[in-house]
């Protein structure tokens, strides 16, 4: 006979609506240019139209290839291919410069908790909600890890294709897909959430390979 002990515990659940609303306000209120200046990354400045180009801080960049568009709250390096919004920039800085991998949602949550004005504007101090979860002791409390390369490949190819075909390849949708993949959700579950979401963004990624590359960056 197998004895199973049921343990009551609380788990922090991500609120997707709060994630979207918070990231939108953070993009609107935080300047990529100012962040780069304050942290010593604003080097080799070159202006092209409404965009500023500087040397990319994530690799050896002899010619300025890191494009900043503060009006749209986006950046992109034409040498290494990395890009995104203000939050994604902080995520890359933490991972590539400081060696600490932090999820997109964790960075959003940290920004909120450190900014009283932002908390007042949003009306909450965290994008996570505390919910009771029942688990059994014959399973690890740690979430299941993807242990199959086939599963990972299916995620990139299947999900990327559906995002392109379903016109869900805007940066905001890609950011949401990344967060759900980081939580190890099934590809079809991710697609169901994306399909029902009404996020909007100025730019979209048209290439299937590009969407795959961006999604692949979380692992």
Do 107 and 47 belong together in one domain?
A: yes
Do 17 and 123 belong together in one domain?
A: yes
Do 23 and 103 belong together in one domain?
A: yes
Do 85 and 170 belong together in one domain?
A: no
Q: Is residue 136 part of a domain?
A: no
Using alpha carbons, select from 131, 32, 44 the residue that is nearest to residue 87: 32
Q: Is residue 193 part of a domain?
A: yes
User: Looking at the 3D structure of the chain, how many domains does it have?
Assistant: 2
This prediction's pTM: 0.56
9-23, pLDDT tens digit by residue?
445 688 888 888 898
For 182, the domain range is 149-216
Do 18 and 103 belong together in one domain?
A: yes
- DSSP string across 91-146: HHIIIIIS-----HHHHHHHHHHT-HHHHHHHT-S-SEEEEEEEEETTS-SSPPPP
Do 122 and 26 belong together in one domain?
A: yes
7-62, pLDDT tens digit by residue?
344 456 888 888 888 988 998 899 999 999 999 999 999 887 777 899 999 999 88
Q: Is residue 143 part of a domain?
A: no
Of 95, 129, 163, the domain-final residue: 129
CATH number of residue 120's parent domain: 3.90.580.10
At residue 155 the predicted structure's pLDDT band, cuts being 50, 70 and 90, is: low
Token pair belonging to 126:
């965290």
């Amino acid at each position: 006979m197998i004895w199973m002990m049921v343990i009551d515990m609380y788990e922090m659940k991500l609120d997707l609506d709060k994630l979207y609303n918070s990231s939108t306000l953070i993009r609107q209120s935080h300047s990529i240019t100012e962040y780069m200046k304050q942290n010593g990354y604003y080097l080799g400045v070159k202006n092209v139209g409404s965009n500023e180009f500087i040397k990319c801080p994530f690799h050896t960049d002899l010619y300025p290839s890191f494009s900043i568009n503060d009006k749209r709250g986006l950046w992109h390096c034409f040498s290494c291919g990395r890009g995104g919004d203000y939050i994604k920039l902080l995520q890359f800085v933490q991972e590539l410069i400081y060696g600490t991998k932090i999820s997109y949602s964790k960075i959003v949550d940290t920004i909120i908790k450190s900014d009283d004005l932002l908390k007042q504007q949003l009306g909450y101090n965290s994008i996570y909600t505390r919910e009771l979860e029942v688990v059994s002791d014959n399973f690890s409390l740690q979430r299941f890890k993807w242990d199959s390369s086939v599963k990972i490949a299916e995620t990139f190819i299947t999900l990327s294709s559906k995002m392109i075909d379903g016109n869900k390849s805007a940066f905001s949708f890609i950011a949401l897909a990344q967060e759900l993949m980081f939580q190890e959700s099934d590809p079809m579950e991710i697609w169901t959430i994306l399909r029902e979401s009404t996020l909007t963004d100025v730019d979209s990624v048209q290439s299937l390979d590009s969407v795959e590359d961006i999604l692949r960056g979380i692992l």
